[in-house]
Amino acid sequence: MKEIKFSILLLCFCTVIFANNLFAQETNDDQSKLTLDFGADVVSRYVWRGTQFGGNAPSIQPALSVGLRGFELGAWGAYSLSGQNYGQEFDLFLSYTFLNEMFTLTVSDYYFPDDSLEYNYVEWNRDATGHILEGTVAFNGTENLPLRFLAAFNFYGNDAITLNDDFSKKGIQYSNNIELGYSFAVNSILCDAFIGGTLSNPNIDKGEAGFYGTGPGIVNIGLTASKDIAISDKFSLPVTASIITNPQAESVFFVFGFSF
C-alpha cells in the first residue's frame, strides 16, 4: 500500500507485545498458562449499546480467543438469520487486564462486511474502509464493589461521516460511548443493570450521522438477568433475558439469548 496507516501500526505493535508474552519463559503462577476458549451466543435480536443491528431477526454470534498473562487476543462475529446482507459483523480485539482483573484496556477492530456498500476487508483508506477502530478503558469492579465503568472512543475508520453535495464522504467525526453498570443477585439469578450514553455531537444539518445517536445523551438503559438451566447432571445451558431502551431513539427491546 502507498500509505501505512497509524491504525495498522498500532494493531501490529499490540500483536507483537502479545506474541512476546506468548513465547516468554513460563513462571509458576496461573497467568503463565495459555488459555483457549470458544463458543457462541444465539440471541433473538442483536442489540448493542442501545442500537439494533441485523433487522428483526435472530443472530448467531461465535467467539474464539486465546489468553496469556492478562492478554487476550480474540475474534467475535454476528450473523443475522434474516437472509439479508446487513447484520453481518466480524471483529478482532486485543485486551490487557491488570491489577487483579480490576482494569482492562482494549483495542477493537469492528468490521461490517455489507455487500451493498462494497467493503473490502483489506481496504484501510479512511474514506472507504468498512473497519472501525476503537480504544476502550474499563473498570471491572471487585467482589466488594460490583460496579463497572467503561469509556470507549472510536479513533479511525467508518464512523460518523460528513457528506458532500454529491453524497461522497467529506470528513469523519469520531464517536464515543460511556457506560456504567451494577451487578447483583436475586436468589439464583444474576442481574446486571446498566446505563450508557454518548458525548458525540454530530451536525445532522451538515450530513453528519452519529454512530450512537443524533447528539449527546442517554442511548442505552437496561437490565440483563442470567441463569443456568440444568439439562442433565453434567450439562447446563446459560440463558439471558434483557430489557433495553434507547431514550434518544425512543425505542425499546426485549432480547432472549443462550450460550453454548
169: Cα separation from own chain's centroid: 25
pTM of the model: 0.82
pLDDT at position 114 is 64
pLDDT one-digit tens code per residue, 207-258: 566 788 888 999 999 999 999 999 888 899 999 999 999 999 999 999 999 9
How far is Cα 107 from Cα 206, in angstroms, rounded to an integer? 30
How far is Cα 26 from Cα 259, in angstroms, rounded to an integer? 32
Higher pLDDT, 24 or 57: 57
What rounded mean pLDDT belongs to the chain?
Answer: 84
**Domain residue ranges of the chain, discontinuous segments joined by +:** 6-24+35-182+197-218
How far is Cα 260 from Cα 255, in angstroms, rounded to an integer? 17
pLDDT one-digit tens code per residue, 101-127: 999 999 999 998 765 556 688 888 877
Instruction: For the beta carbon of residue 162, count every other beta carbon within 10 angstroms.
Output: 15
How far is Cα 48 from Cα 220, in angstroms, rounded to an integer? 9
102 Ramachandran zone, left/alpha/beta (phi>0; psi -120 to 50): alpha
Instruction: For the beta carbon of residue 98, count every other beta carbon within 10 angstroms.
Output: 12
Least confident of 64-78, 127-141, 245-259: 127-141
How far is Cα 116 from Cα 86, in angstroms, rounded to an integer? 8
Grid cell at residue 66: 486465546
Grid cell at residue 195: 446505563
